[in-house]
Chains A and B, each alone.
Chain A
Amino acid sequence: MTRIVLQGGTIVDSRGEYDGDVAIENGRVVEVGENLRGDDVIDATGCIVAPGFVDLHAHLREPGKEEAETIETGSRAGAKGGYTALVAMPNTDPPQDSVAVIDFVREQGKRAGLVEVVPSGCITLGRRGEALAPMAELAAAGVRIFTDDGSGVQDELLMRRAMEYGKGLGITLAQHCEVASLTKGAVMNECQCCTSLGLPGWPSIAEELMVYRDIELARLTGARVHFLHLSTARSVELVRAAKRDGLPVTAEVTPHHLSLDETRLTTFDTVYKVNPPLRSPRDIAALRAGVLDGTIDALATDHAPHPRRDKELALDQAPPGMLGLETALGVALGVLQIDVAHLVRVMSINPARIAGIEDRHGRDIEPGAPANLVVFDPHATWQVVPEALASKSRNTPYVGMTMRGRVRHTLFNGAFTVRDGEAQR
């Protein structure tokens, strides 16, 4: 049996940063120490060796929209970005509201074998917001996180029921916060820019009202609630206050909401259309502060591939979303004054816990732990070239940009999925 040794790197996990070699055998970490020997020795000098990244928010598009992405291509994009687990969003066709679809997604993930694909379940049948999905059945099939992502659950009573019912199942409800009546036809943040461009505005309050509502419902029911892709300063404040009150809420932010502002839309390039929309510099500053002070628990990509022809529609017709898996690390290191231990917390440890997979991802690097690891060079730079992306789609806003922070190797269950920056399968 091959013994892999990651030699000379800096290990970063929940215990902090320390130098050491990591030996891997049979899919697990077997030894951590100095001057370890092995059959396959990787020089990790100057690199960080950390638990593999976990994305709470990936649209893998399969089943239903394989033209944009498949579970295999999305998994490969994830591996290249340093991920070992991706939570697959449920807005597939058919949606992930039945055990059959959940099993299909998980099996396709296993077949690809590049990351653990963790299917999320719908909160409501068909994501229509009318009746609860069979949450207990889905939970019994292993679903730990439920969301109607793409839409928020609009009905207050239904959301209350979902929280009450979900509490009994020990699962987490992840809300896409958007009061739909306030965002009908909306294209971009409601601001001076949308005033001048004549684009229908997407007001911050559409998000904040639902964040507030669900914080209060969490207070009432005691359910665990996770807030997806927060985008406004006020949302961060609401979550900060809720955490101060000891409520079981968590939150994520995307790399693009940390790095790009609303003025990007002045180019009329549909690549910048996302849901929620790119916001103001003030919001960006608040989101960054929220990550750094722990109010926001996780960076999540909201990786949303779309084929060229869909993004060549008019701004008001084009679907929202941009790629994220392969650029998340670079964007995070580029825009956040973050120490690497905290980066590993928000990209691996915290999201693993929120997704309910902390037994195998985001774990401390010690003997016995499954070898789901990333090795990245935090100083190496690279340029984003669309043709070099593993994703099937090309809708990245970072074309041509130089990123700092390069994934060298990704190991999933002890095997290289990415080695020397190249996907291994």
Chain B
Amino acid sequence: MKHLRSIDELGRDGLLRLLDLTNHMVEVNRRPVPKVPALRGRTVVSLFFEDSTRTRLSFETAAKRLSADTMTFSVSTSSVNKGESLRDTVETITDMGVDAFVVRHKSTGIPWQISDWTTASVVNAGDGWHQHPTQALVDCFTVREALGKERFDGLTITIVGDIKHSRVARSNVAAFSMLGADVVLVAPPTLLPPDVSHWPVEVSYRLDDVLARTDILYMLRLQSERMSQGHVPNLREYAETYGLDALRVAKLPPHAVIMHPGPMNRGVEMLIDPSALPNSLIHKQVANGVSVRMAVLFDLLAGESTAANLQQVAT
């Protein structure tokens, strides 16, 4: 695998491979000294053009635990502010000798454009509304771990909220359905993409109708700017119709679990303190972020000596 840019590009085999590899990384992270020399001498650059807490930090931690060197590119202090083009920036950094770019950008497609301009690997850490493949890997791994299931056949995963503007939703629809889950999307029609008839999903406009048959309830963040754009009349009405409160939690089957990619909008989609929920996986999602991203960087950068390297990780 040269790049990780979308779940479709990764495919089902790649997805399963990375999830299995993550098990090894979880084991590394349990050690007293959670660090292995697998990527010593490799350099990973974080290129974040959009704010991020967990994704950026977990990629950097992941790289360091594999002994890669890391560089952080900060847009606000870079030559981008002097008018340097993205291509020139990427070519300049490539000239310094880097092995991977971890890229987040507000525009769809940037990771593909960057991969035309560099010989290094490109990891998509979120592009526009399009894809966020490592989040989908984190979520699949978290479900696997929590439910003790390799495959998701027979599971109903309900994704609620702003599907239209969500890269997490696009990656997760692909990944969950690749693993066999039945995916239900719940949103007002204004927050659904224009035509999802070719997606392997069921669509509902009413959250209360689907809660009783939901095994995994996946809540998405609603950005307040959606209100000013007329997608919803106001946040209070959205919270009433699609927000998760105690009443709705009670409608879920007892075994159901709750997920959220963060950052949460408390009082909008989350009307209940998730830490008060016994069946919340939200903290596990964050905790698994580092292991999953270690698996991704390892898979991309360990190169031909993967088997030997894996031995090194394992011992």
Interface residues of chain A, those whose CB is within 8 Å of chain B, are 187, 190-192, 194-199, 201, 203, 267-268, 270, 309, 312-317
B193 adjacent to chain A (CB < 8 Å): yes
Return chain A residues, CB-CB under 8 Å to B196. Answer: 195
B113 shortest CB reach to chain A, Å: 6
Check if B129 sits within 8 Å of A191, measured CB to CB: no
The answer to whether A198 and B87 touch (CB under 8 A), given A191-B194, A268-B108, A316-B107, is no
Return chain A residues, CB-CB under 8 Å to B199. Answer: 195-196
A191, A199, A203, A312: the one contacting B108 at CB < 8 Å is A199
User: Interface SS of chain A: helix, strand, loop or mixed?
Assistant: loop
Return chain B residues, CB-CB under 8 Å to A312. Answer: 85-87, 113
Check if B197 sits within 8 Å of A192, measured CB to CB: yes
Q: How far is the CA of A308 from the CA of B289 in the complex (A)?
A: 38
Q: How far is the CA of A233 from the CA of B110 in the complex (A)?
A: 32
Return chain A residues, CB-CB under 8 Å to B105. Answer: 314
A199, A201, A268: the one contacting B113 at CB < 8 Å is A268
Check if A192 sits within 8 Å of B195, measured CB to CB: yes
How many A-B residue pairs have C-beta atoms within 8 angstroms? Tell me. 69
The answer to whether A198 and B112 touch (CB under 8 A), given A191-B195, A314-B107, A316-B107, is no
Check if A194 sits within 8 Å of B193, measured CB to CB: yes
Look across to chain B and name the residue whose beta carbon is closest to the beta carbon of A201: B194
B178 shortest CB reach to chain A, Å: 14
Q: How far is the CA of A194 from the CA of B107 in the complex (A)?
A: 13
B267 adjacent to chain A (CB < 8 Å): no
A203 shortest CB reach to chain B, Å: 8
B208 shortest CB reach to chain A, Å: 26
Return chain A residues, CB-CB under 8 Å to B30. Answer: none
Check if A268 sits within 8 Å of B131, measured CB to CB: no
B128 adjacent to chain A (CB < 8 Å): yes
B314 shortest CB reach to chain A, Å: 38
B167 adjacent to chain A (CB < 8 Å): yes
Return chain B residues, CB-CB under 8 Å to A309. Answer: 85, 87
B230 shortest CB reach to chain A, Å: 10
Which residues in chain B, 172-198, are within 8 Å of chain A measured between CB atoms? 193-198
Look across to chain A and name the residue whose beta carbon is closest to the beta carbon of B163: A195
Check if A268 sits within 8 Å of B194, measured CB to CB: no
Look across to chain A and name the residue whose beta carbon is closest to the beta carbon of B198: A192
Check if A190 sits within 8 Å of B194, measured CB to CB: yes
Look across to chain A and name the residue whose beta carbon is closest to the beta carbon of B169: A198
B170 adjacent to chain A (CB < 8 Å): yes
Interface residues of chain B, those whose CB is within 8 Å of chain A, are 85-87, 105, 107-110, 112-113, 127-131, 165, 167, 170, 193-199
B166 shortest CB reach to chain A, Å: 8
Check if A317 sits within 8 Å of B107, measured CB to CB: yes
The answer to whether A198 and B195 touch (CB under 8 A), given A309-B85, A312-B85, A312-B87, is no
Q: How far is the CA of A386 from the CA of B129 in the complex (A)?
A: 33
B215 shortest CB reach to chain A, Å: 25
Q: A195-B196, A268-B112, A314-B110 are in contact. List 20 more A-B contacts (CB 8 A).
A: A190-B194, A192-B195, A192-B197, A194-B193, A195-B194, A195-B198, A195-B199, A196-B198, A196-B199, A197-B108, A197-B130, A198-B127, A198-B128, A198-B167, A199-B109, A270-B113, A312-B86, A314-B107, A315-B107, A315-B109
Q: Can you show 9 pairs from A to B with CB atoms below 8 A apart?
A: A191-B194, A195-B196, A195-B198, A198-B131, A198-B193, A199-B129, A313-B85, A313-B86, A314-B107
B227 shortest CB reach to chain A, Å: 16
Check if B194 sits within 8 Å of A316, measured CB to CB: no
Return chain B residues, CB-CB under 8 Å to A194. Answer: 193-194
Look across to chain B and name the residue whose beta carbon is closest to the beta carbon of A194: B194
A399 shortest CB reach to chain B, Å: 14
Which 6 pairs from chain A and chain B are nearest by CB? A268-B109, A314-B107, A198-B129, A198-B130, A195-B193, A268-B112
Q: How far is the CA of A284 from the CA of B107 in the complex (A)?
A: 28
Check if B197 sits within 8 Å of A198, measured CB to CB: no
Look across to chain A and name the residue whose beta carbon is closest to the beta carbon of B112: A268
Check if B194 sits within 8 Å of A198, measured CB to CB: no
Return chain B residues, CB-CB under 8 Å to A191. Answer: 194-195
Q: How far is the CA of A189 from the CA of B198 in the complex (A)?
A: 16
B231 shortest CB reach to chain A, Å: 13
Look across to chain A and name the residue whose beta carbon is closest to the beta carbon of B130: A198
The answer to whether A314 and B113 touch (CB under 8 A), given A192-B198, A195-B194, A199-B108, is yes
Return chain B residues, CB-CB under 8 Å to A317. Answer: 107
B169 shortest CB reach to chain A, Å: 9
Return chain A residues, CB-CB under 8 Å to B194. Answer: 190-191, 194-195, 201, 203
Return chain A residues, CB-CB under 8 Å to B87. Answer: 309, 312
Q: How far is the CA of A192 from the CA of B107 in the complex (A)?
A: 19
Q: How far is the CA of A270 from the CA of B130 in the complex (A)?
A: 16
Q: How far is the CA of A145 from the CA of B100 in the complex (A)?
A: 54
The answer to whether A195 and B108 touch (CB under 8 A), given A268-B113, A312-B85, is no
Check if B198 sits within 8 Å of A267, measured CB to CB: no
Look across to chain B and name the residue whose beta carbon is closest to the beta carbon of A200: B129
Look across to chain A and name the residue whose beta carbon is closest to the beta carbon of B229: A184
A311 shortest CB reach to chain B, Å: 10
Q: How far is the CA of A207 from the CA of B107 in the complex (A)?
A: 25
Q: How far is the CA of A232 from the CA of B110 in the complex (A)?
A: 29
Return chain B residues, CB-CB under 8 Å to A199. Answer: 108-109, 128-130
B109, B131, B195, B198: the one contacting A314 at CB < 8 Å is B109
B109 shortest CB reach to chain A, Å: 3
A198, A201, A313: the one contacting B170 at CB < 8 Å is A198
Q: How far is the CA of A375 from the CA of B107 in the complex (A)?
A: 46
Q: How far is the CA of A387 from the CA of B63 in the complex (A)?
A: 43
A274 shortest CB reach to chain B, Å: 16
A277 shortest CB reach to chain B, Å: 13
